[in-house]
Amino acid sequence: MRRRAFIQGMAAAGGLAFLPSLRAATSVDELPPLEGDLTLYLGRGEGGLYENVLKAIETRNPKLKLGVRRGPTAALANAIVAEGKAGVQRADVFWAVDSGAVGLISDAGIARPLPSDVAAQLQLAFRYDNWTPVTGRIRTLPYHTGRLSAEQIPEDIMAFPDSGLTLGWSPAYASFQSFITAMRLLEGDAATKDWLQRVKRSGKSYAGELGVVMAVERGEVDVGFANHYYTLRLKAGKPDANVALAYTRNDAGCLVNASAAVAVSDKPLATNFIRYLLTEQVQSYLAREAYEIPLVEGVAPPGALPRMSAINPPEIDLTALADLRPTLDLMRDADVL
């Protein structure tokens, strides 16, 4: 429910983006300089754009010694949990492309509580005690416009395996796995496993969701499963691309998820680093360049955002997506990992 309120709120904000917002987001100028050693685990997946944010933060804070460990989000989340169990703490901050992975860490009791002023910067529906969403993303169905029209795309995610369409997916990608977690919670394990096995039959697997969208665009598959921004980025670079976005209704197929950050050590530096991710500059950069949805109050969403009023996301709390392990087990059993 909270999420739908958010989306509708976003739609309104999108329409009025040119008006000055009531509450301005924090500027980097208001933040203390970052100094000392910080180890960031970066769940890669967004290519160069998160790297650019890190570079900008480093340039601004010459005394910050940032060590970055990159890996798939799920792998790093699991590594942090294993490190916690073994009593080996290496990461200070974990920036994940998906809230489920961060929830996993929070559930393991490794996440450190964040000061209340951090959560207060976020929109109401996105305030948590010991981790923070950074930017939002919506699960979408990019389809080949030359071959299909929007009406031909099922509105029920569970109907895809029988739709006769060829499907593209990237099962190893964390956002996809969270989408499967949502499906598990909404439809049950048996139906989800069955869905996975049937999609596998008509599906083609890609290394990442950018790959999925590109495959849809060149007509290799009819429809893909991907986060919204890959399509928007592709279209930004190639306006006549043969791809458009479709959405399902009230199911995991249009899950709204968020990239997220969590402090794993007690260093004040870790918290301050997270504050940088929530600044006006970083949020609007990610909105402008990466087409992600800023979650801090007072930052305008990307202009090319899909028709928000038409979206009906399922009612799932982001923290519920932390239930990642059963999802991985299920995917393994269904032979799709």
Partner 1 sequence: MIRISPTYPLAAVIAVCALLPLVVLGILAEAPDGLLQARNLRLLGNTLLLAGLTACGSIAIGVPFALLTAYVSLPLQRLWLVLLAAPLALPSYIGAFAFFAAFGPSGEFAVTLGVTIPSVEGMAGAALVMTLYTYPFVMLTTRAALLSLDASQVHAARILGLSLSASLWQVVLPRALRGIGAGALLAALYALSDFGTPAIMGVDTFTRMIYVEYNAFSLGRAAVLSLQLLVIVGLVLFLESQLSSTSERPGRALALYPTSAQTLSAAAVALPIILLALALPIGIFTLWLWREGSAGFELSYVWNSAYAALLAGGFAAILAIPMALAAMAGPAGRFMERLTYFGFGVPGIVMGTALVYVGLQLPSLYQTLMLLVAAYVMRFLPLAVGSLRATAEGIDESLVKAARVLGATPREAFMRVTLPLTRRGLIAGAALVFLESMRELPATLLLAPTGFETLATYLWRVYEAGYFGRAAVPGLLLVLISAFGLMLILSGEQQGDTAHREEECN
The binding site for partner 1 (CB under 8 A) comprises 39, 44-48, 51, 66-72, 74-75, 78-79, 81-83, 86-88, 90, 172, 205, 207-208, 210-211, 214-215, 218-220, 325, 328, 332, 335, 337
Nearer to partner 1 among residue 10 and residue 210 (C-beta): 210
Q: Is 291 annotated as a binding residue?
A: no
Nearer to partner 1 among residue 162 and residue 335 (C-beta): 335
Point out which residues pair with 93 in neighbouring strands.
40, 263
Rounded to a whole number of angstroms, the minimum distance from the CB of residue 225 to partner 1 is: 16
Nearer to partner 1 among residue 4 and residue 69 (C-beta): 69
Nearer to partner 1 among residue 3 and residue 44 (C-beta): 44
Separation CA 80–CA 89 (nearest Å): 8
Give the chain's largest Cα–Cα span.
57
Q: Residue 202: in which H helix or E strand, if any?
A: helix 189-202
The answer to whether the beta carbons of residues 136 and 238 sit under 8 Å apart is no
Nearer to partner 1 among residue 45 and residue 306 (C-beta): 45
Q: What are the residues whose beta carbons fall under 8 Å from the beta carbon of 207, sequence distance 6 or more?
A: 170, 172
Rounded to a whole number of angstroms, the minimum distance from the CB of residue 82 to partner 1 is: 5
Nearer to partner 1 among residue 218 and residue 288 (C-beta): 218
Rounded to a whole number of angstroms, the minimum distance from the CB of residue 274 to partner 1 is: 18
Q: What is the dihedral of CA 36, 42, 48, 49, to 10 degrees?
A: -80
Separation CA 305–CA 262 (nearest Å): 27
Cα atoms in the 13 Å half-sphere on the side-chain side of 323: 17
Q: What are the residues whose beta carbons fall under 8 Å from the beta carbon of 221, sequence distance 6 or more?
A: 144, 165, 166, 167, 168, 203, 204, 212, 215
- Residue 244, number of CB atoms within 10 A of its CB: 19
Rounded to a whole number of angstroms, the minimum distance from the CB of residue 246 to partner 1 is: 22
The answer to whether the beta carbons of residues 12 and 301 sit under 8 Å apart is no
Rounded to a whole number of angstroms, the minimum distance from the CB of residue 13 to partner 1 is: 30
Q: Is 229 annotated as a binding residue?
A: yes
Rounded to a whole number of angstroms, the minimum distance from the CB of residue 54 to partner 1 is: 11
Rounded to a whole number of angstroms, the minimum distance from the CB of residue 260 to partner 1 is: 19
- Residue 38, number of CB atoms within 10 A of its CB: 22
Nearer to partner 1 among residue 58 and residue 317 (C-beta): 58
Cα 279 → chain centroid: 18
Separation CA 219–CA 119 (nearest Å): 43
C-alpha distances (whole Å) from 275 to each of 2, 134, 329 are 24, 10, 35
Nearer to partner 1 among residue 31 and residue 75 (C-beta): 75
Separation CA 15–CA 8 (nearest Å): 11
Rounded to a whole number of angstroms, the minimum distance from the CB of residue 325 to partner 1 is: 8
Binding-site members for Fe cation are 229-230
